């Protein structure tokens, strides 16, 4: 594309350097997903090389990345039945229209059906099924032959071991990590050797190849094509060759394989280039909220006849094009590193960046993990750094771009004392902590505990907490419950009314459900929704405290990495829990029969369901109005629900037997949409998810409100 931005190349030596840079970058990218330059820079570079080669065909180097799949970077030893090609790119509406027009000229007829789907940012893979069983997995490699990665079978969500029918077919698609799989993979690697992955793409690349890791990370597959073996003349083979792409994809989904159809950016068909462009914009707008990375939109001729006639160039099909979106990864400057002590005493570095636009938002801060990680990456202040942010993933600094150093870079200062209180640092773990632990930022942990979504202690402002801390009346939030009227009256600016109000608020706080009391403890790895799951699973604080790591792992979303952290944290907050119990704070979750009691009852031969509570423990939510449903809330609540916070809405959903979620997907059963509902509503409507008003919802859950 001639009018796309490109890197200008002045002479033969600059051309040589450009080729080398592109080859190195492609090699790194395809080897382990890391790269010394970001995608935008790479694309510009290759376009510059192309332009130069057009002017100087006699100087073209054999190693040039132009015209090669994967920039010529990788090879493998399993030949592909049909080459796995690349896609040509366009970078805007005009270029898309030009491409479509030139394709229609080539075909000498209009293209009447286009398919539009997201370009998934992972690794291409070929999944070979024989008689319905997944027999072999092969990477793209150089497009002609790839690497056998069949050892990954069974670890890829969306790619079943068995298809619905005993068919022999090759499925092609993208293997990637969703935001939560990535988070989970980073936690596992962090626990294992203190390092993390740079971004979901390189995590997926490394994981797909890894054979002897002591931990297993899950991947996700999204199919985008199905092909019969070239010599196959079975009915299915003939049908797959003749069906439109959209129908092939529906068949793939029918075999139990994941496709983008289950996502908010599902593939659609369009009949005009305007409609195509409209869908491109919708997908681009949805990108920042997606739980997986996309780097563009793929537009294909939907009809088999159009595809056959358009054919292929050496590198890419002529019947498809990738509409590229700005890279989720960019290079910017590391200006400073800030060290902060969090609520639990963890001391974490944070990168301050020269603001850069990434995936639709301006990024100024990014995660840096820990001190050891900074050392391992060899980061320096003033470095140009690769920063990644896509969808739900928290922005993170990947690596310094060493060849861009000027000599003015300075070492990053690593604190010798807690940046908050100046006390010593416990550096025995990768994640540093103030030796004072939670006490270091007592004010932060107490106001968190008193917050609206936890104990909801009205009238307890931060300055009040500070006053009490200064007066030595409290050291943690449990001490609040033993404050006397006299002690409070003694505090400055504390009159009779405020004192009585606060005492009444504390009395109400004592009766909060276990989910909130547990959340108030601020145990690492357990936010609001995990605290609710813990409380519903165990029923009592006693049961939580008696649980070992294995028992804790039974809670939905608790992996083998998180569980031991929870146990260690519980030991640490044990004195607080003891004080809370002694003060008479509620330690049970209403409506839940503790797991231990339920099992005992079952062992004693109790009639199943003889007791409402027992039934609930056996099958959560059965008989309740939202049983088995996943519900998302958006917009402003009104009517009976007007005063409820999001957390309270989520609590209500769970009381009614449902599962609360924050994002709309094909798994969503219902969206409660209030005034000013935005993209979630559009998404839900697009997916055919039931949308109700707050009033309708209140009626549905009835007296549970
Ligand atoms: S179709 C003949 N559809 O993009 C090639 N590819 O740059 C047809 N990709 O190697 C590919 N999402 O790994 C197709 N919806 C999609 C895709 C997609 C991601 C990847 C694929 C391909 C690369 C080309």
Instruction: State pLDDT tens for residues 101-129.
Output: 999 999 999 999 999 999 999 999 999 99
Look at residue 458 in the predicted model and tell me its pLDDT: 92
271, 297, 262: which is closest to 282 by C-alpha?
A: 297
Query: Could you tell me the pLDDT band of residue 490, with boundaries at 50, 70 and 90?
Result: very high
**Residue ranges of the chain that CATH labels 3.30.470.30:** 78-324
List active site positions.
Answer: 119
- Atom 3, ligand 1: which residue's CA is nearest? 224
Question: What average pLDDT does this structure show over 563-574?
Answer: 94
Q: Where are the alpha helices (DSSP H) in 331-441?
A: 371-377
For residue 192, CA distances in Å to 185, 197, 199 come to 10, 12, 18
Ligand 1, CB cutoff 6 Å, lining residues: 85-87, 117, 119-120, 124, 140, 174, 224-225, 298, 317, 320, 322
The predicted-structure confidence for 427-461, as pLDDT tens digits, reads as follows: 998 889 999 999 999 999 999 999 999 999 998 99
The Å distance, Cα 124 to ligand 1 centre, comes to: 7
Q: What percent of the chain has pLDDT over 90?
A: 65
- Distance, in Å, from the CA atom of 540 to the CA atom of 521, rounded to the nearest integer, reads 15
Please give the pLDDT value at position 234: 93
Ranges for all domains in the chain classified under CATH 3.40.50.10190: 630-704
Lowest mean pLDDT, pick from 50-54, 510-514, 652-656, 685-689? 685-689
Lowest mean pLDDT among 74-83, 131-140, 538-547: 74-83
The Å distance, Cα 297 to ligand 1 centre, comes to 9
Q: What is the pLDDT of residues 474-489, one digit of tens each?
A: 999 999 999 999 999 9
Reply yes or no on domain 630-704 having CATH 3.40.50.720.
Answer: no
Best of 69, 225, 298 for a ligand 1 pocket test (most atoms within 8 Å of beta carbon): 298
The mean pLDDT value for 258-271 works out to: 95
pLDDT range class, residue 69, cuts 50, 70, 90 = low
CA distance 488 to 291: 48
The domain defined by 514-589 folds into DNA polymerase; domain 1 (1.10.150)
Residue scoring higher pLDDT (377 or 417):
417
Tell me the best of 82, 114, 120 to mutate to test the pocket of ligand 1, counting ligand atoms within 8 Å of each CB and taking the most.
120
pLDDT, one tens digit per residue, over 73-107 is 655 789 998 999 999 999 999 999 999 999 999 99
CATH of 78-324, one of 3.20.20.70, 3.30.110.60, 3.30.470.30, 3.40.1790.10: 3.30.470.30
Domain 12-74+327-411, architecture per CATH: Beta Barrel (2.40)
Q: Check if the beta carbon of residue 300 is closer than 8 Å to that of residue 115.
A: yes
Q: What is the mean pLDDT of residues 553-567?
A: 88
From the alpha carbon of 322, which atom of ligand 1 is closest? 7
Position of tokens 């790591």?
Answer: 549
Query: Which tops the pLDDT comparison, 517 or 2?
Result: 517
Say how many Å lie between the CA of residue 201 and the centre of ligand 1. 15
In this prediction, residue 80 carries a pLDDT of: 94
Question: Quick one: pLDDT at residue 623?
Answer: 77
The superfamily CATH assigns to domain 438-510 is: 5' to 3' exonuclease, C-terminal subdomain (1.10.150.20)
- What residues does CATH 1.10.150.20 cover in the chain? 438-510, 514-589
Q: What mean pLDDT comes out for the span 334-349? A: 95
Ligand 1 centroid from CA 87, angstroms: 7
594-611 pLDDT tens trace:
555 444 444 444 444 333
Q: What is the 3-state secondary structure (H, E, C) of 558-590?
A: CCCCHHHHHHHHHHHCHHHHHHHHHCCCCCECC
User: 12-51: per-residue pLDDT in tens?
Assistant: 888 888 888 888 888 777 666 666 678 788 888 888 999 9
pTM of the model: 0.69
């Amino acid at each position: 594309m001639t009018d796309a931005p490109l890197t200008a190349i002045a002479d033969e030596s600059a051309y040589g350097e450009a080729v080398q840079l592109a080859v190195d970058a492609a090699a790194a990218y395809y080897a382990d997903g890391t790269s010394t330059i970001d995608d935008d820079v790479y694309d510009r570079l290759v376009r510059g090389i192309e332009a130069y080669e057009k002017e100087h065909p006699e100087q073209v180097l054999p190693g040039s990345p132009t015209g090669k799949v994967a920039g010529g970077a990788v090879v493998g030893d399993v030949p592909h039945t049909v080459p796995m090609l690349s896609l040509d790119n366009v970078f805007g509406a005009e270029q898309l229209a030009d491409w479509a027009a030139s394709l229609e000229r080539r075909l000498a007829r209009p293209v009447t059906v286009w398919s539009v789907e997201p370009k998934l940012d992972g690794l291409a893979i070929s999944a070979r099924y024989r008689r319905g069983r997944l027999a072999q997995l092969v990477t793209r490699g150089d497009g002609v032959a790839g690497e056998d990665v069949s050892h990954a079978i069974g670890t890829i969500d969306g790619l079943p071991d068995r298809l619905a029918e005993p068919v022999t077919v090759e499925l092609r698609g993208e293997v990637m990590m969703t935001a939560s799989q990535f988070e989970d993979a980073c936690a596992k690697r962090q626990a294992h050797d203190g390092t993390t992955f740079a971004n979901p793409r390189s995590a997926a690349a490394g994981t797909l190849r890894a054979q002897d890791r002591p931990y297993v990370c899950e991947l996700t597959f999204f199919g985008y094509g199905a092909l019969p073996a070239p010599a196959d003349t079975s009915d299915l083979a003939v049908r797959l060759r003749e069906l439109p792409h959209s129908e092939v994809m529906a068949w793939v989904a029918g075999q139990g394989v994941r496709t983008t159809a289950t996502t908010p950016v599902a593939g659609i068909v369009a009949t005009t280039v305007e409609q195509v462009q409209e869908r491109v914009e919708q997908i681009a707008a949805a990108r920042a909220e997606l739980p997986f990375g996309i780097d563009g939109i793929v537009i294909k001729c939907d009809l088999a006849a159009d595809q056959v006639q358009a054919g292929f160039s050496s590198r890419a099909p002529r019947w498809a094009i990738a509409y590229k979106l700005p890279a989720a990864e960019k290079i910017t400057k590391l200006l400073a590193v800030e060290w902060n002590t969090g609520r639990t005493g963890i001391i974490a570095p944070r990168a301050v960046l020269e603001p850069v636009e990434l995936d639709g938002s301006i990024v100024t801060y990014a995660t840096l993990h820990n001190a050891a990680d900074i050392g391992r990456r060899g980061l320096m202040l003033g470095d140009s750094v690769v920063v990644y942010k896509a969808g739900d993933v928290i922005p993170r600094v990947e690596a310094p771009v060493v060849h861009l150093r000027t000599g003015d870079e300075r070492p990053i200062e690593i604190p010798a004392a807690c940046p908050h209180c100046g006390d010593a640092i416990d550096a025995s773990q990768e994640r540093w902590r103030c030796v004072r632990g939670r006490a270091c930022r007592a004010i932060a942990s107490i106001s968190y505990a008193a917050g609206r979504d936890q104990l909801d202690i009205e009238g307890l402002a931060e300055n009040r907490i500070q006053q009490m801390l200064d007066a030595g009346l409290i050291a943690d939030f449990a001490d609040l419950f033993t404050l006397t009227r006299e002690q409070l009256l003694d505090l400055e600016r504390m009159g009779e009314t405020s004192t009585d109000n606060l005492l009444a608020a504390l009395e109400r706080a004592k009766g909060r459900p276990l989910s909130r009391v547990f959340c108030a403890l601020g145990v690492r790895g357990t936010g609001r929704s995990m605290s609710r799951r813990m409380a519903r699973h165990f029923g009592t604080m006693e049961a939580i405290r008696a649980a070992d790591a294995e028992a804790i792992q039974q809670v939905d979303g608790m992996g083998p990495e998180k569980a031991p952290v929870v146990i260690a944290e519980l030991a640490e907050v044990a004195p607080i829990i003891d004080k809370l119990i002694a003060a008479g704070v509620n330690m049970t979750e209403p409506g839940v029969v503790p797991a231990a009691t339920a099992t005992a009852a079952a062992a004693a031969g109790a009639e199943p369901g003889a007791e409402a509570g027992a039934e609930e423990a056996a099958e959560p939510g059965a008989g309740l109005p939202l049983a088995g449903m996943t519900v998302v809330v958006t917009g402003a609540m009104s009517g009976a629900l007007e005063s409820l916070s999001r957390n309270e809405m989520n609590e209500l959903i769970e009381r009614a037997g449902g599962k609360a979620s924050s994002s709309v997907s094909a798994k969503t059963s219902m969206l409660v949409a209030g005034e000013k509902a935005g993209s979630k509503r559009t998404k839900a409507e697009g997916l055919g998810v039931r949308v109700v008003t707050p009033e309708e919802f209140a009626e549905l859950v009835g007296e549970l409100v």
